[in-house]
Amino acid sequence: MLKRTLIGIIRSQETTGEKAKDPALKTRYYKLSKDEVWDEVTNMFKKMNGYKLLHEVKSVGEIVVERKTVTGRTQDITLTLFGINPVKTAIDIYSASRGSFGDLGSNYRTILEIYRQLDRRLAAYKIEQQ
């Protein structure tokens, strides 16, 4: 976690993906259709404190939310849902802080929090990655 804070001194964004070195930032997969995952994700953000659903573009699988940090900064978070096949969906997250200074690792922690919530909600459908 200290390493993330040090990186966060200069960096103000974080992203997940297939090739992420940090296992916590790897793309998540669920055994559900894209539409089912979409409904779960949008409903989750409507209930999560501190998050505001800003924008939904179902055709491209993009959900944009905003989060205010304890320090008063705003994070713009984009979740991208990919329908791998009719019963498998992947989710990636990009989080960036507004402003010119680093985020002290807050985007990293935000992504972990979102993934934790998703994994809890969709536990029965999560596909473990190697």
Across the chain, which has 130 residues, the per-10-residue mean pLDDT values are 55 89 95 97 94 95 93 93 97 92 85 96 88
What CATH number is associated with residue 17?
Answer: 3.30.310.220
**Can you give the pLDDT at residue 61?**
96
Question: Please, which residues have CB within 8 angstroms of residue 83's CB and are 6 or more apart in sequence?
Answer: 33, 34, 61, 89
**Can you give the pLDDT at residue 130?**
53
Angle of helix 106-121 relative to helix 34-47, nearest 10 degrees, comes to 120
Q: How many folded domains does the chain comprise? A: 1
Question: Half-sphere exposure of residue 94, counting CA atoms within 13 Å on the CB side?
Answer: 6
**Can you give the pLDDT at residue 78?**
98
**Can you give the pLDDT at residue 100?**
73
Place of tokens 């807050």: 106
- The tokens of 118 are what? 């998703």
Domain span holding position 8: 2-127
